[in-house]
Structure 1
């Protein structure tokens, strides 16, 4: 295993760190409230960081999401790159890539994913040349009418499209203007919504031939789901690193009984445990992303990093808040945002016990992809 970033990945990470640090300050986040920062999104897309994910791969995206997590910047970066850029690049037809990627690269189109634990959306074939695919120039593009609801879809209120798996794990792209979007408030300010599909037109991601040629049912679904778990684990690594950085800064400057809080053994032990947990999330995310990019078996690695991000991530953000004492409960304090993001990522990834059960099943089957 070699997790050493390439020159392109390192350059992109440094640029992302500078943009997030400059444009996602505490004051700017307070001004943004619970919505996304459109100016920051324009800056990221204008700098080519969204487009760069095509070249730097999932590992490159993980590095960029670490920088976002450090500042809890409110932009749909993870969602649009995973469910949009990477999903279309890996699983779209040539015509879909040509039509969809330009808008995803410049940020004028934003894709999110409606991936509940148990997909329940129903798809009824609608023939060809209708719905989303109409006028696309793709002869034989498969379309369907989708029905069902998905609660708590992150960044749905920012999205122009949403990637939806049906009951058979086939992936469909739906324009949000063709669906019902009801605002939902999550623990973290992720501009979430409830997706309501009532015969909404959907376009199959990829072709029927491509799906039939893949070994195993639902291969594209599993591939995108794994990429999302790895990406959001990378985001959690950054959230935890940011929380810990705030805690270190606070405990080294705040004094108790005439000496800094950081010199007390209990504080040192909590901070050390939080550092080790953060590094565990980071290294497992790197390994899973590296395996994904290299075409190596990734199922167990993706579940492992998701489990660390959920289980250890919750511990770290609780520690960060605890080490701030009363300040940690201040809703206007930066560390409180990391707490909210850490808890939201725990819920979004699927909770540690569920992930551990899924990992156990994967190991027992011995069918790592």
Structure 2
């Protein structure tokens, strides 16, 4: 497998690393924590100015029209710097509307591509697990919604939320204005500082055009997994890098603790977890951009992202000892991010159950059964 990136992809990755590194360093994050702002404003403005907020949005609606590989590279850079901006949900929601929505939503997608409106996704863990959160019943004007959508990121700031619904004939996606009549909002903050809001729906009516066609769910699920896994890759890589630096400087018995065999083996295991996630994530993005089926591959990546985030975070905290629980030291931020990302993916056990169910119904699983090189062999 050739993982060489094109010159354009390398340029995007370098620009993203530079931009996030300049705006999302430890001092900036400390100021952000005390600011009460929903995101790091200078960083979000820089993302809009450089077009990183609209890479995936089709060029016909004002975006760049690039693929998941390019977005993955940017999200990896975001994860490395822990940049608190609504980057991936915004453009996945906008691209979903551009691809499957009614022409009436085109102005909203264009406003999102221009950075004038924020769009978001609700309950991605439910989307990944195919577990709808809101019950939809037929209404003369469309559908009536009931239930609660928990911890929707940026719901108080967004003009539109993509939500999973339970219809009589199965699960579907729809878009919802969080300011609609009948929607109640209760705000909160996730462990890593991301603003969230519980959306309660009681007699909320949405129009027929707000219900997206069935393929929208199949389109969103693997892309949401790839986005979260790319963030997890960046978070875990930076967390491991900080930890390696620490163990080479921290001394015990007049020796750097990184020279102890147990610490070396722990760091080596963490590196294996990291590289396993990287290679499978890149292949998933390749399949998405190539239009290949990837249901089982996405489930595999989701599980590896949950496991890598948990194991690397656990090892990093362990070798840091007491300083790992000091919130004036930055390593705790990475643990918070990795735990939240794993939760959004549904958790390792739930993802593994879903993958096991897929295996029970299919007799092949691999990354290249349907690729030309496998057929040629």
Q: TM-score, normalised by structure 1?
A: 0.86
Pairs aligned (count): 345
Task: Map 1:122-141 onto structure 2 (within 5 A).
Answer: 122-125=135-138
Gaps in structure 1 of 5+ consecutive residues: 129-142, 212-217
Are the equivalent residues in 1 in contact too, given 2:174–2:210 (CA < 8 A)? no
CA contact (8 A) 2:55 2:91 kept: no
- Structure 2 residue runs of 5 or longer lacking an equivalent are 58-64, 371-377
Aligned positions of 1:298-309 closer than 5 A: 298-309=294-305
Paired with 1:155 and 1:273, the residues of 2 have a C-alpha distance of 36
The answer to whether 1:198 aligns with 2:202 is yes
- 2:37 is the counterpart of 1:28: no
CA offset at residue 207 of structure 1?
7.4
Verify the 8 A CA contact 1:173 1:204 in the aligned structure 2: no
- Given the alignment of the two structures, is residue 256 of structure 1 paired with residue 252 of structure 2, yes or no? yes
Name the SS of the counterpart of 1:324 in structure 2.
helix
Distance 2:254 2:356 in 1: 50
Task: Work out the CA distance in 2 between the residues paired with 1:47 and 1:202.
Answer: 35
Question: What pairs with 1:307-326 in structure 2 (closer than 5 Å)?
Answer: 307-326=303-322
**Correspondence for 1:72:** 82
Contact in 2 for aligned 1:174/1:200 (Cα 8 Å): no
1:303-325 C-alpha deviation (Å, 9 max, x unpaired): 00000011121000111122222
Q: CA deviation at 1:194?
A: 0.6
State the TM-score, normalized to the length of structure 2.
0.85
* TM-superposition CA deviations, 1:78-125 (whole Å, max 9, x none): 22122x2332233234453x3222222232222222233521313345
Structure 1 residues 205, 326: closer, same or farther in 2, change over 3 A? farther
Give the Cα–Cα distance (whole angstroms) in 2 for the partners of residues 158 and 336 of structure 1.
27
CA distance in 1, matches of 2:209, 2:264: 50
Q: Does 2:286 align with 1:290?
A: yes
Q: What is the alpha-carbon distance in structure 2 between the residues aligned to residue 74 and residue 147 of structure 1?
A: 31
> In the alignment, does 2:164 pair up with 1:165?
yes
Indicate how the Cα distance of structure 1 residues 170 and 158 shifts in structure 2: closer, same or farther if over 3 A, else same.
same
Match of 1:111 in 2: 119
- Choose the corresponding residue for 1:186, options 178, 183, 190: 190
CA shift at 1:158, angstroms? 3.3
Q: Secondary structure at the match of 2:70?
A: helix
- Determine the structure 1 residue equivalent to 2:62: none
Of the three residues 133, 146, 151, the one matched with 1:120 is: 133
Cα RMSD of the aligned pairs, angstroms, is 2.3
Q: Secondary structure at the match of 1:167?
A: strand
The offset of 1:2, in angstroms, is 4.4
Question: For 1:5, what is the secondary structure of its paired residue?
Answer: coil
